[in-house]
Structure 1
Amino acid sequence: MNKKSCLNCGHSISGEFCAHCGQKGDTARITLHSLIKNDILGSIWHVETKFFNTLKDVIFRPGKTAMDYISGKRVRYNNFISLLLILFGFNVLSYHYYEKFSPSEVLTDNTLYIKDFFSKYSKIILFVIIPILGMNAFFLFKKVKLNIAEHFIIGTVSLLGILILALLSDIVSLIGLWQPVSKIFNIFDKIIFDLSILFPAVTYWNAFKNSYSKTGLLWRVLILYVLMGLESLIIIVLI
Protein backbone atom coordinates (compact mmCIF):
# COMPACT_ATOMS: atom_id res chain seq x y z
CA MET A 1 0.00 0.00 0.00
CA ASN A 2 1.45 3.35 -1.08
CA LYS A 3 1.75 5.99 1.57
CA LYS A 4 -0.20 9.17 0.96
CA SER A 5 1.91 12.32 1.06
CA CYS A 6 0.78 15.87 1.79
CA LEU A 7 0.81 17.93 -1.39
CA ASN A 8 1.78 21.01 0.61
CA CYS A 9 4.77 19.86 2.68
CA GLY A 10 5.47 16.29 1.52
CA HIS A 11 5.02 14.61 4.92
CA SER A 12 3.13 11.32 5.19
CA ILE A 13 -0.58 11.57 6.02
CA SER A 14 -2.36 9.03 8.21
CA GLY A 15 -5.60 10.92 8.85
CA GLU A 16 -7.88 13.54 7.37
CA PHE A 17 -5.33 16.31 7.90
CA CYS A 18 -1.55 16.54 7.66
CA ALA A 19 -0.08 16.43 11.17
CA HIS A 20 2.83 18.64 10.06
CA CYS A 21 1.15 21.60 8.28
CA GLY A 22 -2.58 21.06 8.86
CA GLN A 23 -3.63 20.88 5.21
CA LYS A 24 -6.49 18.51 4.31
CA GLY A 25 -5.37 15.15 3.01
CA ASP A 26 -7.91 14.95 0.18
CA THR A 27 -6.54 17.98 -1.68
CA ALA A 28 -6.91 17.27 -5.40
CA ARG A 29 -6.83 19.07 -8.70
CA ILE A 30 -9.25 21.97 -8.86
CA THR A 31 -12.25 21.41 -11.11
CA LEU A 32 -15.29 23.58 -11.79
CA HIS A 33 -17.35 21.29 -9.56
CA SER A 34 -14.87 21.40 -6.65
CA LEU A 35 -14.43 25.16 -7.04
CA ILE A 36 -18.17 25.80 -6.67
CA LYS A 37 -18.83 23.14 -4.03
CA ASN A 38 -15.80 23.47 -1.78
CA ASP A 39 -14.16 26.84 -2.37
CA ILE A 40 -17.21 29.06 -2.91
CA LEU A 41 -20.28 27.44 -1.33
CA GLY A 42 -18.26 25.59 1.31
CA SER A 43 -16.42 28.71 2.47
CA ILE A 44 -19.59 30.81 2.64
CA TRP A 45 -21.45 28.10 4.56
CA HIS A 46 -18.54 27.62 6.97
CA VAL A 47 -18.15 31.35 7.70
CA GLU A 48 -21.89 31.99 8.08
CA THR A 49 -22.47 28.91 10.24
CA LYS A 50 -19.59 29.79 12.56
CA PHE A 51 -20.69 33.45 12.74
CA PHE A 52 -24.32 32.72 13.62
CA ASN A 53 -23.42 29.89 15.99
CA THR A 54 -21.21 32.31 17.89
CA LEU A 55 -23.96 34.97 18.06
CA LYS A 56 -26.52 32.39 19.21
CA ASP A 57 -24.29 31.01 21.95
CA VAL A 58 -23.30 34.48 23.16
CA ILE A 59 -26.97 35.45 23.57
CA PHE A 60 -28.40 32.25 25.02
CA ARG A 61 -25.48 30.91 27.08
CA PRO A 62 -22.90 33.69 27.39
CA GLY A 63 -21.09 32.50 30.49
CA LYS A 64 -20.90 28.89 29.28
CA THR A 65 -19.63 30.11 25.91
CA ALA A 66 -16.88 32.15 27.57
CA MET A 67 -15.87 29.25 29.83
CA ASP A 68 -15.85 26.80 26.90
CA TYR A 69 -13.61 29.18 24.95
CA ILE A 70 -11.28 29.58 27.95
CA SER A 71 -11.08 25.79 28.41
CA GLY A 72 -9.91 25.37 24.79
CA LYS A 73 -13.14 24.63 22.90
CA ARG A 74 -12.59 27.29 20.22
CA VAL A 75 -13.07 25.77 16.78
CA ARG A 76 -16.84 26.40 16.99
CA TYR A 77 -16.48 30.15 17.53
CA ASN A 78 -15.39 33.23 15.66
CA ASN A 79 -12.60 35.24 17.25
CA PHE A 80 -14.39 37.32 19.89
CA ILE A 81 -12.35 40.49 19.36
CA SER A 82 -12.91 40.45 15.60
CA LEU A 83 -16.62 39.86 16.17
CA LEU A 84 -16.68 42.74 18.65
CA LEU A 85 -15.34 45.16 16.03
CA ILE A 86 -17.78 43.87 13.38
CA LEU A 87 -20.77 44.30 15.69
CA PHE A 88 -19.60 47.71 16.77
CA GLY A 89 -19.46 48.76 13.10
CA PHE A 90 -22.96 47.41 12.50
CA ASN A 91 -24.22 49.37 15.52
CA VAL A 92 -22.75 52.62 14.23
CA LEU A 93 -24.28 52.00 10.80
CA SER A 94 -27.73 51.06 12.12
CA TYR A 95 -27.87 54.12 14.37
CA HIS A 96 -26.86 56.30 11.43
CA TYR A 97 -29.89 55.06 9.46
CA TYR A 98 -32.16 55.46 12.48
CA GLU A 99 -31.05 59.08 12.78
CA LYS A 100 -31.42 59.60 9.02
CA PHE A 101 -35.02 58.35 8.81
CA SER A 102 -36.29 59.62 12.17
CA PRO A 103 -38.60 62.65 12.19
CA SER A 104 -37.02 65.69 13.80
CA GLU A 105 -39.36 65.53 16.80
CA VAL A 106 -38.13 62.00 17.60
CA LEU A 107 -34.52 63.12 17.87
CA THR A 108 -34.64 65.08 21.09
CA ASP A 109 -31.73 67.10 22.40
CA ASN A 110 -30.92 64.35 24.91
CA THR A 111 -30.87 61.71 22.18
CA LEU A 112 -28.55 63.79 20.04
CA TYR A 113 -26.28 64.49 23.02
CA ILE A 114 -26.02 60.78 23.85
CA LYS A 115 -25.34 59.93 20.20
CA ASP A 116 -22.63 62.59 19.90
CA PHE A 117 -21.07 61.45 23.17
CA PHE A 118 -20.90 57.79 22.15
CA SER A 119 -19.69 58.68 18.65
CA LYS A 120 -16.88 60.84 20.02
CA TYR A 121 -15.74 58.43 22.71
CA SER A 122 -16.81 55.13 21.12
CA LYS A 123 -13.31 53.58 21.07
CA ILE A 124 -12.68 54.51 24.69
CA ILE A 125 -16.02 53.07 25.77
CA LEU A 126 -15.51 49.91 23.73
CA PHE A 127 -12.05 49.11 25.05
CA VAL A 128 -12.45 50.33 28.64
CA ILE A 129 -15.53 48.24 29.52
CA ILE A 130 -13.70 44.94 29.02
CA PRO A 131 -10.69 45.69 31.30
CA ILE A 132 -13.00 47.17 33.96
CA LEU A 133 -15.26 44.11 33.93
CA GLY A 134 -12.25 41.80 33.85
CA MET A 135 -10.38 43.42 36.74
CA ASN A 136 -13.47 43.70 38.94
CA ALA A 137 -14.42 40.08 38.26
CA PHE A 138 -10.84 38.92 38.88
CA PHE A 139 -11.08 40.07 42.51
CA LEU A 140 -14.75 39.17 43.05
CA PHE A 141 -14.59 35.64 41.62
CA LYS A 142 -11.19 34.48 42.88
CA LYS A 143 -12.52 31.03 43.74
CA VAL A 144 -12.66 30.00 40.06
CA LYS A 145 -8.90 30.70 39.72
CA LEU A 146 -8.97 32.34 36.30
CA ASN A 147 -6.20 34.73 35.32
CA ILE A 148 -6.86 38.33 34.30
CA ALA A 149 -6.73 37.57 30.56
CA GLU A 150 -9.36 34.85 30.99
CA HIS A 151 -11.57 37.29 32.84
CA PHE A 152 -11.10 39.67 29.89
CA ILE A 153 -12.60 36.94 27.67
CA ILE A 154 -15.72 36.80 29.87
CA GLY A 155 -15.92 40.60 29.77
CA THR A 156 -15.61 40.48 25.97
CA VAL A 157 -18.47 37.98 25.68
CA SER A 158 -20.56 40.17 27.97
CA LEU A 159 -19.92 43.22 25.78
CA LEU A 160 -20.66 41.15 22.66
CA GLY A 161 -24.09 40.35 24.07
CA ILE A 162 -24.73 44.02 24.81
CA LEU A 163 -23.76 44.97 21.24
CA ILE A 164 -25.99 42.27 19.76
CA LEU A 165 -28.93 43.55 21.82
CA ALA A 166 -28.06 47.16 20.91
CA LEU A 167 -28.09 46.23 17.21
CA LEU A 168 -31.44 44.50 17.66
CA SER A 169 -32.70 47.60 19.48
CA ASP A 170 -31.68 49.82 16.55
CA ILE A 171 -33.49 47.52 14.10
CA VAL A 172 -36.61 47.51 16.29
CA SER A 173 -36.41 51.32 16.56
CA LEU A 174 -36.20 51.62 12.77
CA ILE A 175 -39.29 49.43 12.32
CA GLY A 176 -40.99 51.40 15.09
CA LEU A 177 -40.78 54.57 12.99
CA TRP A 178 -43.72 53.15 11.02
CA GLN A 179 -46.69 54.60 12.90
CA PRO A 180 -49.09 51.60 12.78
CA VAL A 181 -46.64 49.46 14.78
CA SER A 182 -44.78 52.17 16.71
CA LYS A 183 -46.36 51.50 20.13
CA ILE A 184 -45.71 47.76 20.25
CA PHE A 185 -42.16 48.14 18.88
CA ASN A 186 -41.42 50.86 21.45
CA ILE A 187 -42.33 48.30 24.12
CA PHE A 188 -40.01 45.75 22.49
CA ASP A 189 -37.26 48.39 22.41
CA LYS A 190 -37.59 49.05 26.15
CA ILE A 191 -37.49 45.32 26.90
CA ILE A 192 -34.32 44.91 24.82
CA PHE A 193 -32.73 47.89 26.58
CA ASP A 194 -33.49 46.36 30.00
CA LEU A 195 -32.01 43.04 28.85
CA SER A 196 -28.82 44.78 27.71
CA ILE A 197 -28.42 46.31 31.18
CA LEU A 198 -28.87 42.90 32.78
CA PHE A 199 -26.67 41.03 30.31
CA PRO A 200 -23.40 41.20 32.30
CA ALA A 201 -25.26 39.75 35.30
CA VAL A 202 -26.62 36.93 33.13
CA THR A 203 -23.12 36.28 31.76
CA TYR A 204 -21.41 35.95 35.14
CA TRP A 205 -24.31 34.00 36.62
CA ASN A 206 -24.19 31.56 33.71
CA ALA A 207 -20.39 31.27 33.96
CA PHE A 208 -20.06 30.70 37.71
CA LYS A 209 -23.39 29.21 38.84
CA ASN A 210 -21.69 25.89 39.61
CA SER A 211 -18.84 27.50 41.56
CA TYR A 212 -20.83 29.58 44.09
CA SER A 213 -24.04 29.35 46.07
CA LYS A 214 -26.92 31.47 44.77
CA THR A 215 -26.46 33.93 47.64
CA GLY A 216 -22.70 34.14 47.13
CA LEU A 217 -23.11 34.67 43.41
CA LEU A 218 -25.87 37.26 43.88
CA TRP A 219 -23.91 39.56 46.18
CA ARG A 220 -20.83 39.32 43.97
CA VAL A 221 -22.84 40.29 40.87
CA LEU A 222 -24.45 43.18 42.76
CA ILE A 223 -21.04 44.48 43.88
CA LEU A 224 -19.82 44.10 40.28
CA TYR A 225 -22.62 46.43 39.13
CA VAL A 226 -21.92 48.95 41.89
CA LEU A 227 -18.23 49.05 40.97
CA MET A 228 -19.04 49.33 37.26
CA GLY A 229 -21.40 52.22 37.94
CA LEU A 230 -18.87 54.13 40.04
CA GLU A 231 -15.99 53.53 37.62
CA SER A 232 -18.11 54.46 34.60
CA LEU A 233 -19.12 57.70 36.33
CA ILE A 234 -15.47 58.56 36.99
CA ILE A 235 -14.55 57.86 33.35
CA ILE A 236 -17.44 60.01 32.05
CA VAL A 237 -16.37 62.89 34.30
CA LEU A 238 -12.73 62.58 33.19
CA ILE A 239 -13.50 62.56 29.44
Structure 2
Amino acid sequence: MSLIRNDILGSIWHVEARFFHTLKEILFRPGRTAMNYIAGKRIRYNNFISLLLVLFGFNVIGFHFYERFASAEELSSDSEIRVFFSKYSKTVLFVIIPMLGAHAYFLFKRIKLNIAEHFIIGTVSLLGILILFLLDDMVSLIGLWKPVSKIFNGIDKILFGLSILFPAITYWNAFKNLYSKAGLLWRVFILYVLMGAESLIIIAVLYKIF
Protein backbone atom coordinates (compact mmCIF):
# COMPACT_ATOMS: atom_id res chain seq x y z
CA MET A 1 0.00 0.00 0.00
CA SER A 2 2.78 2.41 0.91
CA LEU A 3 4.53 1.52 -2.35
CA ILE A 4 1.42 2.44 -4.34
CA ARG A 5 1.05 5.66 -2.35
CA ASN A 6 4.69 6.55 -2.97
CA ASP A 7 4.30 5.83 -6.68
CA ILE A 8 1.23 8.06 -6.88
CA LEU A 9 2.91 10.87 -4.96
CA GLY A 10 6.03 10.49 -7.07
CA SER A 11 3.98 10.70 -10.26
CA ILE A 12 2.17 13.81 -9.04
CA TRP A 13 5.47 15.43 -8.06
CA HIS A 14 6.97 14.57 -11.45
CA VAL A 15 4.01 16.11 -13.30
CA GLU A 16 4.08 19.25 -11.15
CA ALA A 17 7.86 19.60 -11.44
CA ARG A 18 7.69 19.31 -15.23
CA PHE A 19 4.81 21.79 -15.36
CA PHE A 20 6.70 24.46 -13.41
CA HIS A 21 9.93 23.68 -15.25
CA THR A 22 8.12 24.27 -18.55
CA LEU A 23 6.70 27.57 -17.31
CA LYS A 24 10.13 28.72 -16.13
CA GLU A 25 11.83 27.76 -19.39
CA ILE A 26 9.16 29.49 -21.48
CA LEU A 27 9.39 32.64 -19.41
CA PHE A 28 13.19 32.91 -19.26
CA ARG A 29 14.37 31.00 -22.35
CA PRO A 30 11.43 31.03 -24.75
CA GLY A 31 13.37 30.79 -27.99
CA ARG A 32 15.67 28.03 -26.76
CA THR A 33 12.69 26.15 -25.37
CA ALA A 34 10.92 26.31 -28.72
CA MET A 35 14.03 25.19 -30.60
CA ASN A 36 14.59 22.32 -28.15
CA TYR A 37 11.00 21.24 -28.64
CA ILE A 38 11.41 21.38 -32.42
CA ALA A 39 14.62 19.36 -32.13
CA GLY A 40 12.68 16.58 -30.40
CA LYS A 41 13.81 17.24 -26.83
CA ARG A 42 10.23 17.18 -25.58
CA ILE A 43 10.28 14.83 -22.62
CA ARG A 44 11.37 17.61 -20.27
CA TYR A 45 8.40 19.80 -21.22
CA ASN A 46 4.66 19.65 -20.87
CA ASN A 47 2.71 19.40 -24.09
CA PHE A 48 2.45 22.96 -25.36
CA ILE A 49 -1.13 22.68 -26.59
CA SER A 50 -2.33 21.28 -23.26
CA LEU A 51 -0.41 24.00 -21.47
CA LEU A 52 -1.98 26.60 -23.72
CA LEU A 53 -5.46 25.46 -22.73
CA VAL A 54 -4.54 25.32 -19.03
CA LEU A 55 -3.08 28.84 -19.05
CA PHE A 56 -5.99 30.11 -21.07
CA GLY A 57 -8.36 28.71 -18.44
CA PHE A 58 -6.33 30.20 -15.58
CA ASN A 59 -6.42 33.59 -17.29
CA VAL A 60 -10.20 33.44 -17.61
CA ILE A 61 -10.49 32.52 -13.91
CA GLY A 62 -8.00 35.23 -12.92
CA PHE A 63 -9.90 37.90 -14.81
CA HIS A 64 -13.17 36.66 -13.33
CA PHE A 65 -11.81 37.12 -9.80
CA TYR A 66 -10.47 40.55 -10.67
CA GLU A 67 -13.88 41.62 -11.97
CA ARG A 68 -15.50 40.21 -8.85
CA PHE A 69 -13.37 42.10 -6.35
CA ALA A 70 -12.58 45.31 -8.24
CA SER A 71 -14.73 48.35 -7.65
CA ALA A 72 -16.85 49.85 -10.41
CA GLU A 73 -14.45 52.80 -10.58
CA GLU A 74 -11.45 50.52 -11.05
CA LEU A 75 -13.22 48.49 -13.70
CA SER A 76 -14.25 51.61 -15.61
CA SER A 77 -10.65 52.83 -15.72
CA ASP A 78 -9.32 49.41 -16.62
CA SER A 79 -7.05 48.81 -19.57
CA GLU A 80 -8.81 48.51 -22.92
CA ILE A 81 -6.43 45.69 -23.77
CA ARG A 82 -7.51 43.71 -20.72
CA VAL A 83 -11.18 44.23 -21.56
CA PHE A 84 -10.61 43.33 -25.20
CA PHE A 85 -8.67 40.18 -24.31
CA SER A 86 -11.35 39.02 -21.90
CA LYS A 87 -14.05 39.56 -24.51
CA TYR A 88 -12.27 38.14 -27.54
CA SER A 89 -9.81 35.78 -25.88
CA LYS A 90 -10.75 32.76 -27.99
CA THR A 91 -10.20 34.71 -31.19
CA VAL A 92 -6.85 35.96 -29.91
CA LEU A 93 -5.86 32.41 -29.02
CA PHE A 94 -6.53 31.13 -32.53
CA VAL A 95 -5.13 34.11 -34.44
CA ILE A 96 -1.79 34.96 -32.79
CA ILE A 97 -0.07 31.65 -33.50
CA PRO A 98 -0.86 31.52 -37.26
CA MET A 99 0.04 35.19 -37.65
CA LEU A 100 3.39 34.79 -35.92
CA GLY A 101 4.13 31.49 -37.64
CA ALA A 102 3.28 32.65 -41.15
CA HIS A 103 5.23 35.90 -40.95
CA ALA A 104 8.23 34.32 -39.26
CA TYR A 105 8.33 31.60 -41.92
CA PHE A 106 9.13 34.22 -44.56
CA LEU A 107 11.15 36.61 -42.40
CA PHE A 108 13.43 33.92 -40.97
CA LYS A 109 13.77 31.86 -44.13
CA ARG A 110 17.48 31.23 -43.58
CA ILE A 111 16.71 29.01 -40.57
CA LYS A 112 14.96 26.51 -42.88
CA LEU A 113 12.20 25.65 -40.44
CA ASN A 114 8.90 24.53 -41.89
CA ILE A 115 5.64 26.33 -41.19
CA ALA A 116 4.61 23.87 -38.46
CA GLU A 117 7.89 24.47 -36.64
CA HIS A 118 7.34 28.21 -36.84
CA PHE A 119 3.90 27.60 -35.38
CA ILE A 120 5.63 25.95 -32.40
CA ILE A 121 7.68 29.11 -31.86
CA GLY A 122 4.48 31.13 -32.14
CA THR A 123 2.87 28.85 -29.57
CA VAL A 124 5.73 29.44 -27.14
CA SER A 125 5.33 33.19 -27.68
CA LEU A 126 1.65 32.97 -26.86
CA LEU A 127 2.36 30.78 -23.83
CA GLY A 128 4.75 33.42 -22.53
CA ILE A 129 2.15 36.12 -23.06
CA LEU A 130 -0.45 34.07 -21.19
CA ILE A 131 1.97 33.48 -18.30
CA LEU A 132 2.59 37.22 -18.08
CA PHE A 133 -1.14 37.93 -18.30
CA LEU A 134 -1.73 35.47 -15.46
CA LEU A 135 0.95 37.15 -13.35
CA ASP A 136 -0.66 40.46 -14.27
CA ASP A 137 -4.02 39.19 -13.02
CA MET A 138 -2.43 38.25 -9.70
CA VAL A 139 -0.68 41.61 -9.45
CA SER A 140 -3.93 43.42 -10.28
CA LEU A 141 -5.75 41.51 -7.56
CA ILE A 142 -3.11 42.41 -4.97
CA GLY A 143 -3.13 45.98 -6.27
CA LEU A 144 -6.77 46.32 -5.26
CA TRP A 145 -5.46 46.72 -1.71
CA LYS A 146 -5.04 50.49 -1.46
CA PRO A 147 -1.80 50.66 0.62
CA VAL A 148 0.14 48.85 -2.12
CA SER A 149 -1.87 49.90 -5.16
CA LYS A 150 0.73 52.33 -6.56
CA ILE A 151 3.54 49.78 -6.36
CA PHE A 152 1.49 47.04 -7.96
CA ASN A 153 0.11 49.36 -10.62
CA GLY A 154 3.72 49.96 -11.63
CA ILE A 155 4.40 46.23 -11.73
CA ASP A 156 1.21 45.81 -13.76
CA LYS A 157 2.53 48.22 -16.41
CA ILE A 158 5.88 46.42 -16.55
CA LEU A 159 4.17 43.06 -17.05
CA PHE A 160 1.97 44.51 -19.76
CA GLY A 161 5.02 45.92 -21.54
CA LEU A 162 6.79 42.57 -21.31
CA SER A 163 3.75 40.80 -22.77
CA ILE A 164 3.88 43.12 -25.80
CA LEU A 165 7.60 42.51 -26.22
CA PHE A 166 7.49 38.78 -25.56
CA PRO A 167 7.35 37.63 -29.22
CA ALA A 168 10.44 39.76 -29.90
CA ILE A 169 12.16 38.23 -26.88
CA THR A 170 11.24 34.76 -28.13
CA TYR A 171 12.65 35.24 -31.63
CA TRP A 172 15.73 37.00 -30.32
CA ASN A 173 16.41 34.15 -27.92
CA ALA A 174 15.84 31.56 -30.65
CA PHE A 175 17.87 33.10 -33.47
CA LYS A 176 20.43 35.42 -31.84
CA ASN A 177 23.31 33.13 -32.84
CA LEU A 178 22.07 32.73 -36.41
CA TYR A 179 21.62 36.37 -37.45
CA SER A 180 23.52 39.58 -36.89
CA LYS A 181 21.95 41.99 -34.39
CA ALA A 182 20.96 44.33 -37.21
CA GLY A 183 19.50 41.48 -39.26
CA LEU A 184 17.51 40.22 -36.32
CA LEU A 185 16.31 43.70 -35.35
CA TRP A 186 14.88 44.60 -38.74
CA ARG A 187 13.18 41.23 -39.06
CA VAL A 188 11.56 41.57 -35.64
CA PHE A 189 10.58 45.15 -36.48
CA ILE A 190 8.87 44.04 -39.71
CA LEU A 191 7.19 41.22 -37.79
CA TYR A 192 5.71 43.73 -35.34
CA VAL A 193 4.61 46.09 -38.10
CA LEU A 194 2.79 43.26 -39.88
CA MET A 195 1.31 41.93 -36.65
CA GLY A 196 0.23 45.41 -35.60
CA ALA A 197 -1.46 46.15 -38.92
CA GLU A 198 -3.28 42.82 -38.95
CA SER A 199 -4.27 43.16 -35.31
CA LEU A 200 -5.85 46.55 -36.00
CA ILE A 201 -7.82 45.05 -38.88
CA ILE A 202 -8.98 42.13 -36.72
CA ILE A 203 -9.96 44.46 -33.86
CA ALA A 204 -11.89 46.70 -36.25
CA VAL A 205 -13.71 43.70 -37.72
CA LEU A 206 -14.54 42.28 -34.28
CA TYR A 207 -15.88 45.60 -33.04
CA LYS A 208 -17.95 45.99 -36.20
CA ILE A 209 -19.40 42.48 -35.96
CA PHE A 210 -20.02 42.44 -32.21
Q: TM-score, normalised by structure 1?
A: 0.83
Write the deviation string for residues 143-173 of structure 1: whole angstroms up to 9, x where unpaired. 0000000000000000000000000001001
Q: 2:66–2:140: 8 Å Cα contact kept in structure 1?
A: yes
| 2:42 corresponds to 1:34 | no
Q: 2:63–2:86: 8 Å Cα contact kept in structure 1?
A: no
Equivalent residue number for residue 228 of structure 1: 195
Aligned pairs (5 A) from 1:136-215:
136-215=103-182
Listed as ranges, the gaps of 5+ residues in structure 2 are: none
Equivalent residue number for residue 46 of structure 1: 14
Q: 1:102 and 1:70, CA in 2 relative to 1: closer, same or farther beyond 3 A?
A: same
Q: 2: distance between equivalents of 1:234 and 1:204?
A: 24
Please report how far the alpha carbon of residue 113 of structure 1 lies from its aligned counterpart in structure 2 after TM superposition. Answer: 8.9
Where does structure 1 differ by over 6 angstroms across 4 or more consecutive aligned residues? none
Please report how far the alpha carbon of residue 110 of structure 1 lies from its aligned counterpart in structure 2 after TM superposition. Answer: 6.1
Q: 1: distance between equivalents of 2:205 and 2:55?
A: 27
Indicate the SS of the match to 2:178: coil
Equivalent residue number for residue 104 of structure 1: 72
Alignment: residue pair count: 206
Write the deviation string for residues 71-111 of structure 1: whole angstroms up to 9, x where unpaired. 01000000001101100100010111111101111111665
Equivalent residue number for residue 19 of structure 1: none
Please report how far the alpha carbon of residue 237 of structure 1 lies from its aligned counterpart in structure 2 after TM superposition. Answer: 1.8
Flag the structure with larger Rg: 1
Q: 1:159 and 1:112, CA in 2 relative to 1: closer, same or farther beyond 3 A?
A: closer
Query: Which protein is richer in helix relative to its size?
Result: 2
Indicate the SS of the match to 2:95: helix
Please report how far the alpha carbon of residue 127 of structure 1 lies from its aligned counterpart in structure 2 after TM superposition. Answer: 0.8
Indicate the SS of the match to 1:106: helix
Over the matched positions of the two proteins, sequence identity in percent amounts to 71
Q: 2: distance between equivalents of 1:227 and 1:158?
A: 16
Q: 1: distance between equivalents of 2:188 and 2:157?
A: 23
Q: TM-score, normalised by structure 2?
A: 0.94
> 1:76 is matched with which residue: 21, 27, 44?
44
> 1:59 is matched with which residue: 17, 23, 27?
27
Q: 2: distance between equivalents of 1:142 and 1:92?
A: 36
Indicate the SS of the match to 2:62: helix
Q: Which has the higher contact order (CA 8 A, sep 6+)?
A: 2
Listed as ranges, the gaps of 5+ residues in structure 1 are: 1-31
